Amino acid sequence: MPISVVLVDDHHARRMSLRSLLESDSQVTVVAEGDTLRSAIRHVIGHTPHVLVLDLRVLEGTTFATIERLHAQVPQTKIVVVAIDQEPAFAQHALAAGATAYVLTDHAASDLPRAVRLAACGQQFVTPLCVTPHPPRLRARPPARR
């Protein structure tokens, strides 16, 4: 049975690239895609996919709050965050909010297919550059965006 995926990224070209990458894996089927957090919520609730691949920097709304909401409402859908932010605090905050995986955009070609497969099985994955040997305590809020 293929892994069903909802893909949400507000940059059309990157979304198409990620879709192509995901669908190059015979175990993955993208069932819906969107460009807003509202579309993420609508598609996850409507399709109940195995995995949501979500860009951390979708411009509309608060991504961490959306992760928390979806994790609470549809816990069977695992969330893989794709981000440009390499600082470990972002990955830690995403995981604390309910994400199962955190993949750097620059490493998507090598890490995203693996992260999706692992997340579908309930296993965590974080791009190694985002892991600290001794993680600091989680902050109530992520670091300020630059």
Taking only the tens of pLDDT, the chain with its 146 residues reads 899 999 999 999 999 999 999 999 999 999 999 999 999 999 999 999 999 999 998 867 789 999 999 999 999 999 999 999 888 889 999 999 999 999 999 999 999 999 999 999 999 999 887 766 554 555 555 555 54
**Is 77 within 8 Å of 70 (Cβ atoms)?**
yes
- pTM, 2 dp: 0.88
Look at strands 3-8 and 125-126 and give their pairing.
unpaired
Phi–psi pair at 19, nearest 5 degrees: -60, -45
Query: What domains lie within the chain, and their CATH numbers?
Result: 3-130 (3.40.50.2300)
Distance CA 16, CA 27 (A): 18
Cβ partners under 8 Å of residue 96, min gap 6? 138
